[in-house]
Amino acid sequence: MLEPGATIPDLTVVDQREEIKPLRARLGPQGAVIYFYPKDNTPGCTLEANDFQALSRSFADLGYAIIGISKDSVKSHVGFCAKHGLEFTLLSDGDGALCQAFGVWQEKVFCGKTSMGIVRSTFIVDGAGVVQKVYGQVKTKGHAATVLADLGQRT
């Protein structure tokens, strides 16, 4: 997994608006909160997305973009955004290049079965694309508020 001090990869990815541009071009003036999640419209992922949306104005006021990333398709992201009123960027990492580059594609055990999947993780990056903080194996409840509080302490 990327560590603080690492520079994020500048891969070009498509978002829910079908805009194709490099990841670093999506950062806010101060940077971004980049979070990886397993799947659209699942309970934990929906809770996390709704929490980030509820606090999106506060993140923007601090100069940070919110970027959610999963391997779901653009079509899935469009539906997820429409259903839950999500206005921040969701990237479709269908080929898993971003998941691999950030190191969040890992072996997981669920109900006794081992498989590969996205480990729910969040990265705070600055405006130059340098990782400042990493949250691994995120628990969704209250996570967005924790990230916002941490950013508020940084400014």
Write out the catalytic residue numbers.
45
State which amino acid sits at residue 25.
Answer: A
Q: Name the DSSP letter for residue 48.
A: H
CA dihedral over 123, 127, 131, 133, signed as positive or negative: negative
Distance, CA of 97 to CA of 154 (rounded, Å): 30
Rg (CA), the chain: 14
Nearest CA to 51 out of 149, 143, 150 is that of 143
**Residue written as tokens 């104005």?**
57
Distance, CA of 144 to CA of 35 (rounded, Å): 10
Nearest CA to 76 out of 60, 93, 63 is that of 93
